Every structure is written in structure tokens, then in C-alpha cells.
Structure 1
Amino acid sequence: MPQSRSGPAMVPRLLHCVTLCLLGAGPLGATVTQNPRYQVTRIGKPVYLSCSQDMNHDTMYWYQQRLSQAPKLLFYYYDQDFNNETDTSDNFQPSRPNTSFCSLGIRSPGVRDSAVYLCASSRDTELERYHPS
């Protein structure tokens, strides 16, 4: 009888990978598009995630959602101004070279970086902070 390969010997291999997931809106008029939609990588191998929007929104966000946790805001850009909302590792490298595009690089992903990464956009967030309706 052949032996199964799904025993304890497989567990260390699983621990050497990091799963990064992105969710994007479908092609319904105005969109936010994330690329790649999902990615599994080796620990320590750099990852590059991108996000674009075609709605001329001023603000773009990156969220991280770990298993069984609520999404956590990592960063946001208002126009070209960068805002770090949480104590995040220097391992994350966000960028917004223009108003319709935002990216997130992870220099050396570790097990703690296994999560769903969400990009979002909105209009006038920074202004609403100073001029509430």
C-alpha cells in the first residue's frame, strides 16, 4: 500500500510560502483593479501588488486583512501625500506615482504577511476631515 504524502513531512513546505490575496471590482463602469488577484510566494521573495482606479479619486488606500481579523488600514495617499495609519514594518513599500495608480511592494514577505491585501479609493477624504458636513 503506498504511503500518503500529506503527513507531517508536508507541513514544513507549507510554512515556507506566503499567500497574498487581492480582491478587485468587476468591470462595471468605474472600477478599482488590483493585480495580481492572488499570489503565493516563498518567504523572503519580494512581492509587488498594484492597484488602479479610473474614477479620478483623490485618495487611495491599502488594507491588510489577516485570517479571522477585520481589515486594517496600512497606508493611504491623498493626492501624492503619503499617510501611514498604523505601525507598519519598513518591509512595506507603498507608492503612488500618479492619481490613478498605487502600488505596494513587500521587500521580504514573512509568515506574518500572509493576508488578503485590499486596495480602495475615494474622493475628497482629506478635505472632509477639515470641513465636516
Structure 2
Amino acid sequence: MAEPVVRVELTASFLDRLAAIESFLTEADAASAYDRLLGELRTTVIPNLRRFPRIGRRYLDQPPQSAEALAQLAAFPAGAADRLREYPHGDYLILYTVATPGHLVHLLSIRHHRELSFQFSRLWAGPAGSPDR
């Protein structure tokens, strides 16, 4: 029996974060690092998520402790926070969600592992669609 095809979609918030990473690395004279990141997303991360959509650890296995982050999580659509997963790749953490029944992955955000936290306020907004399908 063939494995179901899992589609991986990039949200507007993920694309915004990629643009911010590109700007930062370009200003730091490290544009080649951005090119490497894009290549790794295409050749490693996205194929891994297509094959193993639940490869990342559950985000809520170690929930945030701040009142602000907990309030943002509480404002998510019903059940959405439980589907959040984190995929570590090199120096980056990728936040994504797996839609039920598991044939669609939304890449929500990407950040350098040294950044303080993901910015949740815009993850479910914007024209790129909602991961609640």
C-alpha cells in the first residue's frame, strides 16, 4: 500500500521570517548562508516532512512559561496548539502544524535557535491560509 501524499505549504508568516533571515544574513555579509538554508529546506526539511509529518517534537511537550505566551496559545483556534510541532534543523527551529488527518503540513515560522521565542501573534492570520483545514 502506497503512503499517502503529504503536502507541505509555507504560510505568509513563514515567508516573512525567511525574508527577515535573508535581510539579516545579507547585512552580515553571509548571503551564502541564506542560500544554504533555502537549499536545505528544499532538499532535506520539506522531503522529511512529506515522508514523516510528525517527525518534529510536540511544541507543548515543554510549554512556554510566560503569561504572554500562554495567553497567545489560549487564543489559538480550538485544538490548534495541540498540533504545533518543532523541527530542529541545523541552527534553526521550524514551527509547523499537521492538519488532521495528517495529509497537510503548514510551515508556520522559522527562527534561529538563539532567538528568544516564536512570535505567535500572526501565525493564523493572512491570505496564505489557515492551518485549521
Q: With structure 2 as the length reference, what TM-score do the two structures score? A: 0.31
Decide which structure has greater helix share.
Answer: 2
- Larger proportion of strand: 1
- Output the TM-score relative to the length of structure 1: 0.31
